[in-house]
Structure 1
């Protein structure tokens, strides 16, 4: 078993550190966020990830995990830090570069370094390796270097980090073999061995595939609405074809992966990535489309009061990073609308979340259901109507019963179908 130092204690790094510890390795986690470090060492986490809190408590109790702000000597270093994009959509590699630079003083001959952060193709070889070589050691000669991207779904991380297949791509065959041996200690899925740049491309292709297909669904939805038919019916019936599997349309794409990763492919080859850029434009434009819909429904009301239900980037999670609701709030606020937001799972958001749905809709003119949380399937429209200034609702995800809401006196609108 190895001593492992994991840099980055976020949504990816902490579960990885815990699973390495559970497999018998001794793990030291590192993060520059002092408050996060202190919380983890107390067994406290903000993310509502099933099984994560108990697994952390077990790792701490068994002395398999310690966390601080400073890297320490280890046999293996795992880099799991964010890779956001800049305002111009170019990749921001500063977190990865700084994390790699932070371990150069601890790096020793015979070590293995694994990058889990999502990065553009070629970065492991052309950026990460040179930074690590500032230690005076040679990548592929003195130490091994591999890329192994995470493949987990928020809300099911603890199961998927073990059971999902993984891509292992080293800068040479020894690096690939050593990284595969490391992940084999807890991963039950198949380990697919390749080279670093191919592994980088695989990760980006996976998320870009999803983004492009969501954009196709949204485009079909917008065209369906413009010609006067229900996109929900179109998708349902088109999927009766044995070789068609359209996704459902929605109010946008959020989270830390899908809205970001396609831009890494654009950065690698802007000329060949027109389809990818178009898909990003479609999906990024959805919140503005919903905003226009809400303002139209509230037509004639000065400074309309709009209650948004759902702040998470998708149903069933507490993660609101880059959520469509965040974009919607900005657009509505710029249009002088007064906005309230409720979410049963998200803990922190701007503007501050209301404690319950009734507080959110009190004196509102329009309700916009942005996230298909199960809690919103069972709302009592008659109860909500009694607290509102006007009675209009917009269902962006096809989860509300039109007859029930119209029966309660609501002016009912659903995205992607005639209203």
Structure 2
């Protein structure tokens, strides 16, 4: 099967790198996004996100004429959908409205023989639902759910499984799980991805492919929850959790992860809830792990409150308005600008609402706070942070790992400072 033109619907952290990699193989790629500013930026050969090496690939692809962006879908041989799948309401129910909008947007330009791939991480059954939306919009075409192998349109699910900061490399080198609604759907998707994928393309059905991505991230979430709960228990018992984990990991069959302020990002903090939403009575461990990790930011907030009170007790003449709290990092992981589902952002929001102390945020990967926070919250520098009275390490950016232990009270959620001393509120 030949693919001369590919349409990439959604030009965010996954869609744009994927479009750029296809274009780097001399395939015409039409990127589609509702964000006019992002479209204009890409058409200038620039990028609107932070990802190593992506700027060079996009610049070359645009300059050579293999990549352009638009706000309206155009005819193509294959359509890849990489749009958000957030929550709706307060029960962590998946919101498929972005997928629905994308499906209905491409439906008018579909033609017989096209391939449609859902890349968005989705609850089980989302690919089938997308196929139904397409069929409703185009009754003149046949789809796998009614015509099987003989359908006019091929449909598959192929979730991304890349690490922010290494997306370009991992898109090429990682294996891909490809779940077609029929065998011919899987074969067509395999042929497309083999354009650039050096890893193995492994085929299955759509539901298993959807569940595979959710399983991978739920496995990681469960293990992180163990480390996070261990840090809370250790603080209660006066134990240095970092030393404890280091010692326990000397066992040949133990490999405990490192705790943190919670879990963020568009995958691990979200995907387990998709399993829970489909099987609420069965997913007991997965739900509990999510609740443990979702609780951690509140626990960190209380540690900061304790640090402020401790400083005030040791300095009777000081007032809360005079205590500056320096929060190091906002991203959901080190050395990126991605703030989606970041526990650091949640912690700063809670602190801004509950304490009168000024809050100084140090985040080298963003230029402004974008109105995210209420209260006295400002973006500052490392030099300004040294004057703060309370220091909260939230993200272990490379630049932060080089810092000496600051003067004042320390709340260290990443194990960056004072390896010999118990974490939490320092005794200084």
Q: Structure 2-normalised TM-score?
A: 0.90
Question: What residue in structure 2 maps to residue 357 of structure 1?
Answer: 382
Question: What residue in structure 2 maps to residue 38 of structure 1?
Answer: 40
CA shift, 1:315, in A, is 1.1
Question: What residue in structure 1 maps to residue 409 of structure 2?
Answer: 392
Q: How does 1:100-139 map to 2 (within 5 A)?
A: 100-125=103-128, 127-133=129-135, 134-136=137-139, 137-139=141-143
Gaps of at least 5 residues in structure 1 are 386-390, 404-411
Q: Hey, what's the Cα distance between the residues in 2 that align with 1:37 and 1:52?
A: 15
Q: CA RMSD in A?
A: 1.9
Contact (CA 8 Å) 2:262, 2:293: kept in 1 or not?
A: yes
Question: What residue in structure 2 maps to residue 328 of structure 1?
Answer: 347
SS in 1 for 2:185: helix
SS in 2 for 1:371: coil
Contact (CA 8 Å) 2:410, 2:425: kept in 1 or not?
A: no
Q: Compared with structure 1, are the counterparts of its residues 4 and 402 closer, same or farther at alpha carbon in structure 2 (3 Å cutoff)?
A: closer
Q: How does 1:377-416 map to 2 (within 5 A)?
A: 377-380=401-404, 385=407, 391-401=408-418, 414-415=423-424
CA offsets, 1:170-226, max 9 Å, x none?
A: 000000000001001100011111000000000000111111110011112222222
Contact (CA 8 Å) 1:120, 1:200: kept in 2 or not?
A: yes
CA offsets, 1:247-304, max 9 Å, x none?
A: 0111111111111111100111110112111111111111111111111111144344
Contact (CA 8 Å) 2:359, 2:378: kept in 1 or not?
A: no
Q: How does 1:13-412 map to 2 (within 5 A)?
A: 13-86=15-88, 87-125=90-128, 127-133=129-135, 134-136=137-139, 137-140=141-144, 141-299=151-309, 300=312, 301-303=319-321, 304-337=323-356, 338-349=358-369, 350-351=372-373, 354-362=379-387, 364-380=388-404, 385=407, 391-401=408-418
Work out the number of aligned pairs and report it: 402
Give the 4+ runs in structure 1 shifted more than 4 A.
416-419
Q: Hey, what's the Cα distance between the residues in 2 that align with 1:29 and 1:416?
A: 49
Q: Hey, what's the Cα distance between the residues in 2 that align with 1:228 and 1:34?
A: 53
CA shift, 1:358, in A, is 2.3
CA offsets, 1:290-347, max 9 Å, x none?
A: 1111111111443443110111111121212221111111211221233221112233
Q: Hey, what's the Cα distance between the residues in 2 that align with 1:170 and 1:308?
A: 46
Contact (CA 8 Å) 1:310, 1:371: kept in 2 or not?
A: yes
CA shift, 1:228, in A, is 2.4
CA offsets, 1:338-366, max 9 Å, x none?
A: 3221112233433475241123454x321
Q: Structure 1-normalised TM-score?
A: 0.92
Q: Compared with structure 1, are the counterparts of its residues 93 and 399 closer, same or farther at alpha carbon in structure 2 (3 Å cutoff)?
A: same
- Range with greater deviation from structure 2 (158-167 or 394-403): 394-403
CA shift, 1:237, in A, is 1.7
Q: Hey, what's the Cα distance between the residues in 2 that align with 1:67 and 1:173?
A: 32
Contact (CA 8 Å) 1:165, 1:189: kept in 2 or not?
A: yes
SS in 1 for 2:23: helix
Q: Compared with structure 1, are the counterparts of its residues 348 and 115 closer, same or farther at alpha carbon in structure 2 (3 Å cutoff)?
A: farther
Q: Compared with structure 1, are the counterparts of its residues 290 and 207 closer, same or farther at alpha carbon in structure 2 (3 Å cutoff)?
A: same
Q: Hey, what's the Cα distance between the residues in 1 that align with 2:334 and 2:28?
A: 35
Q: Hey, what's the Cα distance between the residues in 1 that align with 2:399 and 2:215?
A: 33
CA shift, 1:401, in A, is 3.1
